[in-house]
Amino acid sequence: EPAKITVDGRVIHSNPITITVSKSATQNTSKQPSTEKSLGEQANEIIRNNLFIRLAVDKNQAYLGETIVATYKLYVHPNLNIVNISVPKMPSFNGFWTQDFGIKELKFTTENINGVPYRVADLKQVVLIPQQVGNLSIDPMEIEFVVRLLVQQQRKRSRDPFDMLFDDPFFNDPFFREFFGRIMPDSREYRPGLGSGFLISDDGYILTNEHVINGASEIKVTISGFDAPFKARVVGADYDLDLAVLKINAPRKLPYLKMGDVNRLRVGDWVIAIGNPYGLDHTVTVGVISAKGRPIDIEDRHYKNLLQTDASINPGNSGGPLLNLRGEVIGINTAVNAQAQGIGFAIPSDTVKGVLDELIKKGKVVRPWLGVQVQQVDQNWAEYLKLPRAEGALVVGVVPGSPAERAGITRGDVILEIAGRKIKTPDDLVAVIKEQKVGAAVGLLLWREGRLVRVRVVINEKPARL
């Protein structure tokens, strides 16, 4: 029975290259190794039309123990800009013994495909020694779904220090104005900004970062294949997650990207970042996943769970897709570490999938909110507060005007139960609150000054930017 190549623990299907393997030369003399097929017939395209990674093998038939040379070739459309390429180790191929040979330097040549002069370079060579019959295949994907965002932001123009003199009430006196005229109102200017996004439906919904469109007075979307940009409206946005959904009205159905499963993504996997850094349309950078679940702070935003990659993510890339080799979105390009080279971050796709419907239908992400800051109760706190056990969530702060304040919760209280669920750690409290509906009244069991106290609180919606 033939065995299919498994990549990252899963079987991949898409126009497979088939290598017919016999046990020995004497058992199958009628089938000799052949190299007659062209590169196009042997190849599997990863990104059609604009960027390809093609896998070519030097033969399609072999015997057990015979060497097959597989070459990964990068094909770049002349209109694309390649900023950075990082080539990781190849995945293991079930059914084959493999030896990975890296390419020290990318040397581009030119190859015409349907009249287009593509730039071509070898990315990687792998020696395969078959141990059983197998199919080597990689799914195709496209980048036609990536859009360019032009954002206009209105702001006050900075004023000359001398102009500040006229802010003095004296100069607004009617007598003064009679001679000098009315003081001109504050002038305004429009500052353009650039960002990226990508289509998530055929009827014109676009996903991007919230910080790309924050404060925008006008948003225009440029899509490949259309001469004029589209005006876009903001359907929904969330500051905390740094996500925004836009909508355009296009005259026809549009190609769009599908969300992938980030849980199947592993450190070391290939990824492709696409966007418009520094205004350079459809720029592609290639790299690997360096880490998962990274928490970082950028200006006044706190990101709790980001993908880290060495694929270059520069200004203008924000909001563009981070793709796996199946052409699925596994992240939204979000941030770059200005302190180091080759470190970029992306919001994982599972975060997006959890809130996308809510952003489209409600225009925001509704979060239940209690309004307390808490910390773990350790043994020292338990002894100080005379708690029987070192459990619960110790309240160290209460937000003014919050549900907790209205319910009478104060600093020093220890939350032991909420909605009938025991709370042993602050994480338990967060998990239970997330399950509550806004407007629901729930009971809390507190430890206060050496005794148990019960209170009732109405869960509210969390305010934005809190």
Residue 155 to residue 190: CA distance in whole angstroms: 6
Annotation marks residue 168 as catalytic:
no
Sign of the CA dihedral running 340, 346, 348, 354:
positive
Q: Report angle CA 85, 59, 108 to the nearest 5 degrees.
A: 30
Residue 330 to residue 325: CA distance in whole angstroms: 10
- Could you give the dihedral angle defined by the CA atoms of residues 279, 260, 102 and 335, in that order, rounded to the nearest 10 degrees? 40
Contact partners, residue 30, CB within 8 Å, separation at least 6:
none
For residue 180, the 8-state DSSP code is H
Which is nearest to 368 in space by CA: 312, 434, 316, 303? 434
Contact 8, 264 (CB under 8 A): yes
Annotation marks residue 318 as catalytic:
yes
Side chain identity, residue 375? Q
DSSP assignment string, 118-164: EEEEEEEEEEEEESS-EEE----B--TTEEEEEEEEEEEPP--GGGG
Kindly name the residue from 22, 137, 318, 349 that is annotated as catalytic: 318
Annotation marks residue 242 as catalytic:
yes
Residues recorded for the chain: 466
Sign of the CA dihedral running 120, 123, 125, 128:
negative
Helix (H, G, I), strand (E, B) or coil at 211: helix
Residue 320 to residue 337: CA distance in whole angstroms: 17
Residue 447 to residue 409: CA distance in whole angstroms: 11
For residue 21, the 8-state DSSP code is E
Kindly name the residue from 242, 281, 310, 428 that is annotated as catalytic: 242
C-beta neighbour count of 439 within 10 angstroms: 10
Which is nearest to 258 in space by CA: 141, 348, 346? 141
Which is nearest to 347 in space by CA: 415, 294, 275? 294
Residue with tokens 């996004």: 197
Residue 125 to residue 71: CA distance in whole angstroms: 4
Contact 134, 166 (CB under 8 A): no
Element (H, E) at 434: helix 426-435
Kindly name the residue from 22, 196, 211, 312 that is annotated as catalytic: 211
List, by residue number, the catalytic residues: 211, 242, 318
